[in-house]
């Protein structure tokens, strides 16, 4: 009987490993590939590039969840927009995000349970930690995505004023708006890579045949930054009414610098309030101990002598 248990565990692990490999990494048969090709030819769909192992793994993980809980069209569009604001423009980005959500929701509680079992703690005392791990696993991907979006939008805001100054110099030197965007994208690639990439995408959209107005609207929709949205609206209005683009960009750049200075002053004013809590919790008790400690010891000695 004691020999059967190790062999049973070994067989279970081996069969589980083979089952996972077959489920995630098995190659499709020639018949299924031919049938898929015929379906695409009948539907007029061009053959796609062969998927990588990571993409296939993500699809196998998320596909059952999408079947059980399919996302609505509005939720899928909102998620695509959030990921675009964070800088993830791949078509598979929502799929990868849902896979990360699933892994986080199941993995963090599982790790917590394994730690509790390994430490041999009672279940009643560990129930709070399990519930907390479920909440962390549910909120961690959302909070991370929000932080990535905010940090990227802040980088775009801080770099936009410098980009507009360089654009003014380029336009005054005789370049057009499209050529000025290319110049700004090349010059600011090392300093502000996010805004450089966005200007490069605008220029690529114009090159493939889109109108400048549509490309600028896509820029505003892709970033979600109010300053960039105002810049795109200003450039569209300047194109429509034939006003001076150089003067408009210069005025808008000055207003952006004023906004940036006001944001810096606001952050400096908030710093005093934010420092109040750590000072009151960590620094002031230490100062009281250092200042009043010797006096308290002398008082204790004097009372003990009496």
What is the per-residue pLDDT across 159-211, written as a single tens digit (0 to 9) for each? 888 888 888 888 888 888 888 888 888 888 888 888 888 888 888 888 888 88
Provide, rounded to the nearest whole percent, the portion of the chain with pLDDT above 70.
Answer: 75
pLDDT surpassing 70 at residue 303: yes
Alpha-carbon span 20 to 18, nearest angstrom:
6
Residues whose CB falls within 8 Å of the CB of residue 192, separated by 6 or more in sequence, listed in order: 155, 156, 158, 159, 162, 163
Q: What region does 120 belong to: left with phi over 0, alpha with psi -120 to 50, or beta? A: left
CB 162 within 8 A of CB 179: no
User: Tokens standing for 2?
Assistant: 């004691």
Alpha-carbon span 78 to 63, nearest angstrom:
20
Which residue ranges make up each domain of the chain?
156-262
Confidence of residue 112 (pLDDT cuts 50, 70, 90): confident
What is the per-residue pLDDT across 115-149, written as a single tens digit (0 to 9) for each? 887 887 777 777 888 888 888 888 888 999 999 99
pTM over 0.75: no
What is the per-residue pLDDT across 19-76, written as a single tens digit (0 to 9) for each? 555 555 455 555 555 555 665 555 444 444 444 555 555 555 555 555 555 566 677 7
Give the pLDDT score at 50. 43
């Amino acid at each position: 009987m004691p020999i059967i248990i190790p062999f049973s565990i070994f067989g279970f692990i081996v069969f589980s490993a083979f089952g996972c490999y077959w489920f995630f990494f098995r190659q499709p048969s020639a018949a299924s590939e031919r049938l898929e090709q015929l379906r695409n030819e009948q539907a007029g769909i061009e053959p796609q590039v062969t998927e990588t192992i990571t993409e296939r793994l993500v699809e196998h993980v998320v596909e059952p969840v999408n079947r059980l809980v399919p996302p609505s069209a509005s939720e899928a569009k909102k998620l695509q927009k959030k990921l675009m604001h964070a800088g993830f423009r791949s078509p598979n980005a929502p799929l990868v995000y849902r896979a990360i959500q699933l892994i986080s929701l199941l993995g963090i509680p599982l790790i917590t349970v394994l730690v509790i079992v390994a430490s041999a703690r009672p279940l009643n005392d560990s129930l709070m930690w399990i519930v907390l791990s479920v909440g962390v696993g549910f909120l961690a991907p959302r909070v991370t995505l929000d932080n990535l979006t905010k940090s990227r939008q802040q980088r775009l805001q801080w770099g936009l004023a410098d980009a507009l100054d360089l654009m003014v110099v380029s336009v005054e030197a005789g370049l057009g708006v499209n050529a000025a965007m290319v110049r700004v994208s090349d010059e600011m690639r090392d300093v502000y890579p996010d805004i450089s990439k966005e200007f490069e995408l605008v220029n690529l959209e114009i090159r493939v045949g889109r109108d400048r107005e549509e490309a600028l609207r896509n820029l505003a929709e892709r970033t979600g930054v109010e300053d960039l949205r105002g810049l795109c609206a200003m450039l569209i209005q300047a194109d429509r009414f034939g006003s001076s683009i150089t003067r408009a960009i210069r005025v808008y750049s000055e207003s952006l610098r004023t906004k940036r200075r006001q944001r810096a002053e606001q952050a400096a004013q908030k710093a005093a309030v934010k420092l109040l809590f750590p000072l009151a919790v960590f620094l002031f008790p230490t100062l009281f101990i250092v200042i009043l400690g010797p006096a308290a010891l002398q008082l204790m000695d004097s009372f003990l002598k009496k």
